[in-house]
Structure formats: C-alpha cells, structure tokens
Amino acid sequence: MADNKFAAYICSGCGIGDTMDVAGLEKIATREGKMTVVKNHPFLCNAEGVQMIRDDIANEGVTHLCIAACSRRAKAEAFAFPTAAVSRANLREGVLWAVAEGADHDEIRQEMAEDYVRMGCAEVKKMKLPEGNPNKGDAQNKRILVVGGGMSGMTAALAAADAGYEAVLVEKTGALGGFASKLWKRVPFSSPYAEPQATGVEEMVAKVTGNPKIKVHLNTTVTETAGSPGRFKINLAQESGSVSEESVGAIVQASGFTPYDMAKLPELGGGQANVVDQAGLEALAKSANGSAIKRADGKEVKSVVFVQCAGQRDDSGTHLPYCSGHCCATSIKQAMYFKDANPDVDTVVMYTDLRVPGMGEDFYRSAQQKGVIFTKGKASKVSGGDACKVEFKDLILDEETSTDADLVVLATGQVANAGVNLDDWTEVNTKAEGGDEAAKTQRTEMKTISVLNLNYRQGPDMPQFKYGFADSHFICFPYETRRTGIYAAGPTRRPMDMLQATEDATGAALKAIQAVENASQGRAAHPRAWDLSFPSARLEGCTQCKRCTVECPFGAIDEDEKRFPVFNEQRCRRCGTCMGACPVRVISFENYSCDTVGSQIKAVNVPDEDEEKPRILILACENDAYPALDMAGVQRLSYSAYVRAIPVRCLGSVNTIWITDALNAGYDGVMMMGCKKGDDYQCHFVKGSEMAYYRMSKIGDTLKQLGLEPERVQTQEVAITDNARVAKLINDYVEQLNEMGPSPMKGFG
Amino acid sequence: MTAALEAAECGKQVILVEKTPTLGGRTAQLYRYFPKMCHPTCGMEINLKRIKGNPNVRVMTMTEVTEVTGSRGNYAVTLKVAPRHVNENCTACGDCGKAVASEIADDYNYGLGKVKAAYLPHPMAYPQRYVIDPSIAGTAEGEAAKAACKYDAIDLGMKEESVQLTVGAVVWATGWRPYDANKIQPYGYDRYANVITSVEFERLADPHGPTGGKILRPGDGKEAKNIAFIQCAGSRDENHLRHCSRICCMASLKQTQYVREAWGDEGKSTVYYIDIRAIDRFEDFYQMVQKDATVSFVKSKVARIAENAANGNPVLHGVDTEGYHRYATEHDLVVLAVGMEPEVTGVKLPDDIILDSSNFIEGSKDGGMIGAGAASSPLDVNRAVQSATAASLKAIQVIHKTASTEAA
Amino acid sequence: MTNANQQAVARYKNNFLKEVEERVEEGDMVKMCMQCGVCAGSCPLGSAWEHSPQKIFMMIRAGKRDEVLQSDSMWMCTSCYNCIVRCPRQLPITHIMHGLANYAHRLGIAPKGQPTREFAKTFWNNLIKRGRTNELTLTLAHYFANGIGPGIKTALNMQKIGLGMVMAGRLNPMEIFGGHSVKDLKGFHAVLAKAKEIEDRKKGFAA
C-alpha cells in the first residue's frame, strides 16, 4: 500500500463552480477524504484537464483517483485511465441538475455534493489497482466444440474454421447432415425466392470432412463437460464403447429438434394410413426423385391437403403452444414438389394465418402461380385410409365442409432437443442428495437425454427458456445463454427454418470465438464485456453455506469435496450476486466489494435528528435505474437533495450488510432500485433483481430488532425510461419518511 | 452497433459509420419491445457502455459512405462527414440550446414536435454532444450559441469533409425506413390529421415523446381511446412494397398494449389484418392479446378511410372477409402499420452489391461486403442482432482469409 | 345453350378453378388472390353484391360452380376500377368479373331478367346492327324492355333530359328511322364473326 497515492480532481465546469462552493469540496476531499493531491479545474474533461491528470499519474505517482465531475456515464473515454483505480463523484447529473435551482437549496445542494465527494474518496480508497487477470493462464484453449452435425452444427464448425479456429464436431448418429439430409429440397435462401432448391447437404458434408481444421466424431455423444471457457474438458463416448477426451475453449450446442409426434394427433389422422407429417412427405418426395409422388401403398397422389399448425398454436395445453415458424414455407415448398412433377395434382394448403414473412411472400406468390390452392380454414377432423377426408371450417365462406384427398400432410412443429430441464432436475437432485433412492434412479434416468452432461453444480445442461428451447431471454442479446462460453444455435435455441439456422450458427460461432478470446485474456463476457476484475473469496472465513453456489445465475460456482465454493472464473459474469448472497462477506472484486460500497455508505455525513434533514440511501442498478436517475438530471426533473445514490452492478450484488450499515448510521430510509423481475424479467443478470426482493423480504426481522418500521427499506422496479417516475418515487418517499419522522437510530452510529 | 461490437470484442479493429448525429438507430425511437414489453434503451445502455469501453471501435457520426472501390480484403472507402458545428469539447451542458430561439422539426419524434436548432437529439444520445443545425450555422443565432458556450465547443466554420479509409471488409447495417404513408392514397395519411404511422405512435406512447407519453391525437389533442391498427400498410402489396415487413403484426399487437396501459378497460383497439404473423414463440403474445377484451381483430384489408368532418374521427370502410361483413367504423385515431423499406432504396451503392427485388442487401459478388440486420431482410430486433452477429463473423472470415493469402 | 353448360360440366368435372382459368377472361389470375378483401370494401356498389369479388374467388377455388355462375353479383360491376387499383396482388378484378358474367351468359345459366344483363344484351344487339350505337333506339329499347306502360312512364320521366340532348345536338330524332351505319358494315360483321371464332377456339367452345 505504500506506493498508493490518492488524488481528487474536482471539475467546476458546466455550472458546478457557479452553484457550488468548490473550495469547500476541495477541503472535504483533503480533510475527510484524505486525498494527497486535490485539484480543481474549470473544464476537467478537455484535453488540458485530462493531461493534468495524466501528468500526475506519470510524474507524481498518483495511483488512485476520484473524479468529481459529471456522471460516470458521461465522458467515459476522456476519463479512462487504465492503470489507475478510478471513482467518479457525480456532481453534475446527480447534484447540479437534479436538485431544484435557487438559493434556498444552496445549503442542501452543497451538502449533497460534499457527500458525493466523501463517497468518491472513500470508494477509491478501498479499490485495488487493476492488475489484469492473473488467473487466465490455464484458459488458453481456443478450439470450438460443436455438438450436433446437422445444418446448424456443420455451419458453425465451418464458420469457426474459416475464421482460423479449430473445431471439434460431435454427431451422435453415423452420418453428418441431420434433419436436412432427410429433405428432398429446401426453401430458397436468396432471390428470386420462387423454386425449391437443392439442400446442399452433401457438398457441406464434403467441405466439413475435408477441412483440416475440423475434427469429426461420429456415433459419439458427450458424456461429460467439465471446466470453463478456455479450458473445457470433454469426455466423449462412441457407440462402440470406446471413449476419448477433447480439450476445447468454447461450445456451440446445435442439437436440433425432433418433429412433434403426430401420434399425439389422432383427431387429425395421426397414425392412420396416408396421413404423414412433413418429414414423412420428404421421404416420399425423396423416393419419387422428381417424378410423380406416390403414397406408401404405391398409388400416385392426385390430390393432397396440407393441414397447417397441426398440434401447434394450441392454447388448450395439450399440444405445442407456439408456432414453429418454418412450416408454412415448408408446406408451400412441398406443394410445389407435387405441382412441379405434375401440374394437375390438386394441392390445398389449409391455414389460419399464412406466416411467410419477409421475402417468403415471393415464395407464396410463386406457389399460387403454380396453382397451389390456399384455403383459410381450420381442420377439425382428418380420416386417413385409401380415400382421405379432411373436415374443416372454411373461415372465408363461413361454413363447415370437407374435402377429399389421396394424401394428407400434417404440419407438426419443432420440439427442441435441449437436454435436461434444469428446474425439474434441481427438484429431483435435491431429493437425491437428501438420500432419496427413487430420486437417485430418476436423476440417472433424466440424464440420459442430456446433451452436454455438464458437471456443474447447477445441473447437466443449459437452463431452458420457454417451451424447452435453450434460448436467451434477451431481445437485444439473443446468444446470451446462462452458461458462459456455451451458445445454442439453430432449432434447439428457437423454432426456425434452415436459412435462419445457418445464420444463427454463424453468429453462435462468433460468440464462441469471442468467448475463447475473452477467456484467454481473463476478460468477462457479456454484459460486463471486457471487465478484467474477478471475484476472489477468503475461503478461511467461508461457512460452506452454499448460497453462492446456488444463487449464481450463471452456474459459475461449483463445490469441492469439503463443500467450499470453487469459483470458475471464466464462467463468471461479474454481476456480484455471490457477493450479495454471502452472509459472511468473504467474496469481493478488486474494484467492487462489500467494502467499496460499505465505506461510501459510512462516509456520508448524517445530520442529527434536530436538523430535520433526512438521509436516504439509493442502491441503483448501474444499467437501468442509475441511467434513469442521470437522465432525470439531464431533463432537470428535480428530486430531493436528501438522497445519496450508489450504482451497483446488479441488485443481486447488494449485501444486506449495506442495508444494516446504512440504518445503523442513522439513514432514515433505503431505496433499492432494480430491474423488472418475474417471467418477463429485465434483469440482465437474470435473477439478481429477484434475489434482492427475496432477500429483502427476509430483512423484516432485522428491522424489528433495530426497532425500525419496515417502510424504512423499500425495493422498486425501475426501468431505464423511468426518468420522471424515479424523481417522483424519490420525492414521495421523502414525504413518507418525513411523516414517519426521523430514524430512531440516529446518533447511535 | 452489434456488428461493430461483436467484431471489436473478438479483437478486430472496427470503424462504425453512422449517418445521423447519434447511435441507436430506429430502436432508440421505440417505446417498448415485443414481446417482453421492455425498453430498447436498456440494451442500448449496455451497448453504449461496451462502445465507450472498447478501444477497437472508432465511431464516426454524421458520416456517409460515398464510394467503395477495391475488392475483398482491400477496399478503399470514401466517407463524407457532415459538419456538426460542435467539437469534442462539448460537455452537453445545454447552454447553447438556451441561447437559441429557432426551432426545427424534431427528427427523434418523427417530426411530431419541435426542437431547438442547437440540440441534443435525445436524452440517451451518444456521442453525448450537441448538434448545431445548418440552418443557423451562418446566422446571428449561431453566433449567439457560440458565445454562450464556455468550452469553445462550437465551430461555425466547420465544413463538410471527405475522409478516405482502407478496410478489409464492409458490413452494411444501414437499416430501414418507414414506407412513405403518403403513397397509400386511400388511407389519407396526407389528408387526415388523425391517421398516423406506427412509428409515430411509438413516440406518442413514449414518456420521452412529444406528448410525454399521453396518447393524444395530433388533430385536436383529444385523448385517443378507440384506436384502429391497419396492417400491411404498404407491405405485401405489388403497388408498394412487395415483401412482408415481418415486424408490423407484432408491433401492432404490442401497441394495443400501449392502449391498455394508457386507458385500461376504457381503451379499445381494433386490428385490421390479412394474416397475423406472430411467428414462432411470439404466438403466445398473440394469444395473450386475443384474450384481452379491449382488443378485437377484423380479417380485412381496409379499403379506404374517410373523415367524419364533425368530430375529426377517421371512418374505416371495408369488408370483414370472415363471412363477408361490410363495415364503416369510426375510430378516434388510426395507426398505419407501415412497412420496412431498406434505407438504401434510391441510394447509389457500389456496383458489386447484390440487392434483392425489394432492395435488401444480399452481399457482394466476392463476399467481401455483407448485409446485416434490417438492411439484409425485414427483421425484428432479435433477428437483426442475430444477423449482425453472423455478418460480423463473415467479415472476420474475409479478413482472416485475405490476410492468410497475403502471408502465403 | 344448356348443352354448352352440360358439356363444360362434363369436361371439367369438379375442377371449377381450372374451368375458370381456361374459359374466363383473365381467369388464370383468380389463383393469385390472397383473400385480403380490399376489392370487396372498395366497390362503390358493394352492398348490392351478394358475394364480393374476393369471396367469389374463394368460391371458385372451393368448386361452387353453380352458385358463382348463377349469381347476379358480378353483374353489379360498373367498371369503376377501384378494386383493380387497390388490389395488392394486381388482379384484374373488373375484367374477371365481366369475364365471369360473360361466361355464365354464354353457358345460358346467367340469372334471367337481371337488369344489367338485359341492358347489356340490348346494347350489344343495338351495336352490332349498324356497327355503332343508336342512342335513340337503344334508349327506347331499354325503356320499353318491361312493356309499353312502364316504357311510356320512364320516357315521360326522362323527357327533359331527352329534349336537352336534342337541343345540344347529342340526340337526333331522325335516328328513329334506323340511323346511319359504319362504312363497311359487312366487313364489320365479318370482323365480329372472326373474333367469335377465335374466342370460341381459345375458350374451348369450338366444336
């Protein structure tokens, strides 16, 4: 610590100096903040101001700096000093612009600014210098494992290889090609979007097998995945019984889909003669090889009806609730098989909403041109046999009617091959760990469908999103699964057609490449991309309570034999949920810890009860609530000068010690502002916000012990657009606290 | 932004060129996303943070590509940088805005409001830097703005610049624009104040918009509670856009929920459609909206709109094709779900760029230029991000392959 | 004529769409309809249509031959072209409607006494007689189509307009005596006969 030198730089620009006593702030930084160097500047973010700081780092040996100027969200590039520890005291958006104008606010405005300077100094004093990441040495493997040798998997492997990365492709069957190899033709990928195209599977298989950067394992499954990005160890088992091991840096899971079983659709003729699903029709088309398509009994098909949404879009809870997206275009393509071989075949596509977005509209028109008939109708009953019959309601002509056909094709949907459902697994596993023998058997049974067999504490596969797909919950970040360095691609991620699957696999390959590069540099993955800080734990203080291992949203923490947590750093997303969970506070990051936040809370000057100046702590999610507070400032939507806001990485990282520290110090209230939780959660660390609510629901007892009302701590869902709302929430809360009177804890801290 | 960031985070050098003064594109002008009803600015905050922290990305705003020559692995790109009249000294303190009186149409709000001629485009704007509109650059007002700036950030003499770059691959993520609703004559967008577009409706619902998030119709500022949504306004139409714009069904379904959010059970939304294309797992959103008693669906392409002169209400004429029922229905406000037209429509592109019949970019003949996101196909945000991520890898492959050829 | 209908039924069996495609003017565009209904809503006389154009297209695809051909709906078309202009698939709806009407007429199964059809017949007969329309005889034939009584009544009602037209030189009372013909009336009739022959061949009516 001897080499550390602390400095505070206070900007008087943008009106800060006109409204606040900057000399007073300097005094605070020196006397209370204990900064060795304290300077002010009228325009700190310009070249000259920044140079002043750089010179101090270079010449004066300054290592830790508190910049008291604008929000940390502004001028980030100007105030980037990669070798120094930097804190930002938000005097502009957080004080100058947020507190109502006018001299009658001068005193409380100045107090607020002083506190932010105190907090900035206190924070930086607890921060460690950025060291880079010392633990990256063993995470240097840059090979990409691709699980699944279908269209998506082959695309991902080739995409990685074409960018210079080695790929290991594992396919459980004896041949590459997957579902696509069962197709006669595919829907076109590019204009003119008029005719079915050759699938290109054979060429692709040749490309894959001939590529020196791709190693293919056929008849092989993954029996265990251990490790982290940059250092995964994969155990493979061949059907023959032989086993092997591969070392890889990242994984693309392209395990595809299974068509929904039409045997579950007896009312639509599933299981009856001459009623096939789309896969069945492909088989007939393949054997016809371009000539007239014949049924299983050898009879040439002269009329065919395609029943769309068979067992899909079902809101009764019996079949698939979703739409599989590709089936309209697929039926159109299949109807063309008939028309192209013989224009006189009657082909009817029976649909409720024809879903061919984008250029699919051209493909639809092309089918109409060829004479395919589209009937808006809902099939109620299909009978198979020699003369098939489809009973349906014609929605345009508004009548119950029927049509005869030689063959009926049911457009059933895609069911993801995404492995074990972790929610079910956790339940069974908990029982099994408790010694339940039946559960142990069930657990073994469950694992037979696992794709990855992760040896992670939280279960063998990726957490699934809705309907069993291994998808991301984020609209802006479709690849962000909850297992770092493992990316789902193709129909296992989301129902999709072949064009989208190839695009998807290419994107997933990029994410895998990024993951190995990040791991090799010790950098975090999304959303704190390139964060070099990392979690460390003082295990000597650990009580083996397992909260961190259970609560980590990304399954980053395992347990050793003695039940101590094992941090797999390359899996960590740096959200700090483990830090928030830890009851004995042994987990921290170099620039974010119980101490960096705790010391800020304690640095605030809490006035005595008789001053009638309440103090409210705000712990705000750095991605949504804190920007909302900032923008409230930008838009000059004033809020109370009694609040002190601290950005947190995620509400999940909030340790209850911060709350008790604040209340002990005499704060009158604590507001926690996080993202939306629940089914449509917006927390970018998945369940941090939910964890915070859960933890706060348990804090009542602590408050009671302290003799405090439960209203002294509140948790709010705040969206990034809530600029006006956040100001109102604050002002309402201040009013509420005023009515309640000052905290009885004042003066005891 | 996604294509740039994904490549940059793989360690590649990226130059991100943007025509307007800020990043974020059309998503920054949306109130909420379907189907989660979350806010686009949330993801944008993350992406901006990634950009601010990544030395591999160089951002150039108010910049357009005027020429690309060369080939895969070695392109010479000519850029035209329009004068912002504000340099990097700007702290976004806002003093210049206070010194200026003239107002210009607010592009951020699709012209529904006005903004000062010295302005920050929106609260999330990045770069967080003001813009001086060219209309005041040479005037006394321009001088007043300059005088008000304490930081020497205003440079009224800034001229258009031309910049040359050499790059290995080009990703075209030029996006889309709403189809010009004036061209759909029977709907009277040009004649009736209370017929607006879906993108304008986003601004009406947004608390950052011109009405502060209140759904007030433009004609008379009256609360609009009974709202019609007309699908395929310009899309799936040989007379306008031949393609289906994919996003409009989900966007309208989403917007019916803005109506519910604003007016509760008093709101009323009617969706006039041909096919509801709530593709894949968005289906559950459609089912949820179908169960909403304030929303009804009419399977009909509306034939024409007239106006009730007495109250300014648009009157929709058409036929519900499910059983053939003729209607003439009055609404407070009509929202046209306008289609997506590629932003490059009508723009001269390099010769070897391949466009499809709707002007979406398929790529270049030698694969060195790649279309991404809504420039390549009408895509929703999620799929655009997916497409951009894939485009990013294709660009990296170009660099990798041409570099290894050179080395060999 | 019923004979022609029976032959058509025998020839196309249940495939009415194919029959329309081969035998009705621009009938091959019927399959391109996507059931949006903009034609139905655009028709100024829409409420007089028992079946809208888009519904007729669906009925054709559903094989409702008699219901379509015996319908008076397509006889309601006044050729305003609103539907054609707005159709997102650019179907020549007006032409198809006239084509259907004409086809039903040729088969002899068009609705009897349907006013538009009757007027069309009157107009055609008037036209082919001298190669040009005779405004006066055409008008009178139309007025008196339903008998002497109603004819006189209508004529009296329209008296003012008629006189106005005479004053303006738009109507010549002397035309009552037959009026003048095109120059080569024989040639004109030969053209019509040839056109019919070609049309019959194209639409499969030739023996």
The domains of chain A are located at 1-130, 144-256+462-521, 260-413, 526-588
Helix (H, G, I), strand (E, B) or coil at C167: helix
Q: Do B326 and C34 touch (CB under 8 A)?
A: no
Closest CA to C95 of C113, C74, C109: C74
Give CA–CA dist A614/A569, Å, rounded: 41
What kind and span of H or E run contains A151? helix A151-162
Given pLDDT bands bounded at 50, 70 and 90, which one contains residue B365?
Answer: very high
B10: closest chain A residue by CA = A514
State the CATH architecture for A526-588.
Answer: 2-Layer Sandwich (3.30)
Give residue A335's Cα distance to chain centre.
39
Q: Which residue has the tokens 């040729």?
A: C106
DSSP sequence for A669-726? EEEEEE---STT---TTSSHHHHHHHHHHTTHHHHHHHT--GGGEEEEE--TT-HHHH
Contacts A365 to C, Cβ<8 Å = 32, 89
Indicate the SS3 state at residue A414. strand
Q: Looking at this protein, which amino acid is placed at residue B389? A: T
A393 touches chain C (CB under 8 A): no
The one-letter amino acid code at B369 reads M
Contact C54 B238 (CB under 8 A): no
Q: Which residue of A has its CA nearest to B48?
A: A73
Residue B247 has pLDDT above 90, yes or no: yes
Residue B69, pLDDT above cutoff 50: yes
Q: How far apart are alpha carbons B22 and B126 in whole angstroms?
A: 5
Do A260-413 and A526-588 share a fold? no
Instruction: Nearest chain B residue to C39 by CA: give it.
Output: B303
CA distance B41 to B49: 12
The sign of the dihedral angle between the CA atoms of A76, A79, A82, A84 is negative
Displacement of CA A170 from its chain's centroid (Å): 26
pLDDT grade for C140, boundaries at 50, 70 and 90 = confident
Q: Give how far C77 is from chain B: nearest CA, Å.
A: 17
Looking at residue A749, its pLDDT comes to 52
Note whether B406 contacts A: Cβ–Cβ < 8 A.
Answer: no
How many angstroms away from the CA of B183 is the closest CA of chain C? Answer: 12
Q: Which residues contact B6 (CB under 8 A, 6 or more apart)?
A: A510, A511, A514, B388, B389, B392, B393
Measure in Å the smallest separation between the Cα of C36 and chain B Cα atoms.
Answer: 5
Give yes or no for a cis peptide into C44 (omega within 30° of 0): no
User: What does the alpha-carbon distance between residue B76 and residue B5 come to, in Å, rounded to a whole number?
Assistant: 22
pLDDT at residue C103 in the model? 95
What topology is assigned to B1-79+163-175+343-408 in CATH? Answer: FAD/NAD(P)-binding domain (3.50.50)
pTM to 2 decimal places: 0.95
Q: How many residues does chain A have?
A: 749
| Selection from B112, B94, B116, B96 nearest residue B104 by Cα | B116
What whole-number distance in Å separates Cα of residue A371 and Cα of residue A345? 9
The answer to whether residue A373 neighbours chain C at the CB level (below 8 Å) is yes
> What stretches in chain A show pLDDT beneath 50?
1
> What is the assigned CATH class of domain B179-340?
alpha beta
Q: CA-CA distance, A623 to A72, in Å (whole number)? A: 12
CB within 8 Å: A396 and C58: yes
Query: What is the per-residue DSSP string for A542-553?
Result: -----HHHHH-T
Distances (CA, A) of A148 to A125, A152, A153, A216, A505: 51, 8, 5, 10, 11
8 Å CB contact between B109 and B188: no
Judged by DSSP in three states, A380 sits in strand
Question: What does the alpha-carbon distance between residue A680 and residue B195 come to, in Å, rounded to a whole number?
Answer: 32
Beta-bridge partners for B233 = B338
CB pairs under 8 A between A and B: 240
Q: Residue A643: which of A660, A668, A661, A666 has the closest Cα? A: A668
Mean pLDDT, chain B, rounded, equals: 96
Q: Please, what is the angle between helix C135-143 and helix C115-130, to 10°? A: 150
Structural domains for chain C: 2-111 (1.10.1060.10), 115-196 (no CATH)
Give yes or no for a contact between A180 and A199, defined as CB atoms under 8 angstroms apart. yes
Q: Which of B236, B275, B298, B321 to mutate to test the interface with C (most CBs of C within 10 A)?
A: B321
Closest CA relative to residue C140, chosen from C156, C116, C128? C156
Region of B178 (left: φ > 0; alpha: ψ -120 to 50; beta: rest) is beta
Contact map slice: B 204-243 vs A, CB within 8 A: 206-208, 212, 236, 242-243
- Distance to chain C for A451, nearest Cα, Å: 43
Q: Is B186's CB within 8 Å of C86's CB? A: yes
Angle at B210 between CA B205 and CA B213, to 5 degrees: 30
DSSP three-state, residue A342: coil
Chains touching C, CB cut-off 8 Å, 3+ pairs: A, B
Asked whether the beta carbons of residue B393 and residue A46 sit closer than 8 angstroms, the reply is no
Rg of chain B over Cα atoms, rounded to whole angstroms, equals 23
Q: Do A396 and C35 touch (CB under 8 A)?
A: yes
Contact A133, A139 (CB under 8 A): no
Name which of B31, B151, B385 is nearest A477 (Cβ-Cβ): B385
Q: How many CB pairs lie under 8 A apart between chains B and C?
A: 66
Measured distance CA(A255)–CA(A414) in Å, rounded: 12
Burial of C172 (0-12, 13-18, 19+ CB in 10 A): middle
Chain CA centroid to CA A33, Å: 39
The CATH class of the A144-256+462-521 domain is alpha beta
Chain C residues with CB under 8 Å of B274 CB are 34-36
C53 prior amide bond cis, ω within 30 = no
CATH of domain A1-130: 3.40.50
Nearest Cα of chain A lies from the Cα of B310 at a distance, in angstroms, of: 35
Q: What is the mean pLDDT of chain A?
A: 95
pLDDT for residue B406: 62
Binary contact (C31, A371; C-beta < 8 A) = yes
B318 contact residues in C (CB cutoff 8 A): 37-38, 40-41
Nearest CA of chain B to the CA of C38: how many Å?
5
A75 touches chain B (CB under 8 A): yes
In whole angstroms, give the CA distance from residue C94 to residue A285: 40
DSSP A512-579: HHHHHHHHHHT---TTSTT----EEE-GGG-----HHHHH-TT--EEE-TT--EEE-GGG-----HHH
Looking up tokens 């601010």 gives B52
* Residues sharing a CB contact under 8 Å with residue B254, sequence separation 6 or more, in sequence order: B32, B33, B34, B35, B37, B285
User: Is A38 in contact with A10 (CB distance < 8 Å)?
Assistant: yes
Contact at CB, A323 and B206, closer than 8 angstroms: no
Query: How would you label B142-181 residue by residue, b for 16+ Cβ within 10 Å and e otherwise?
Result: bebbbebbebebbbbebeeeeeebebbbbbbbbbbbbbeb
Amino acid (1-letter code) at residue B175 = G
Which segments of chain B belong to CATH 3.50.50.60?
1-79+163-175+343-408, 179-340
Residues of A in contact with B379 (CB under 8 A): 358
Q: Are A111 and A641 spatial neighbours (Cβ–Cβ below 8 Å)?
A: yes
Q: What 3-state class would DSSP assign to A44?
A: coil
Which DSSP state fits B396? H
CATH tag, A260-413: 3.50.50.60
Chain A residue numbers touching C15 (CB-CB < 8 A): 346
Chain C CB contacts of A364 under 8 Å are 34
Are C37 and B321 a contacting pair at CB < 8 A?
A: yes
For residue A553, what pLDDT is reported?
94
Cβ atoms within 10 Å, residue A93: 23
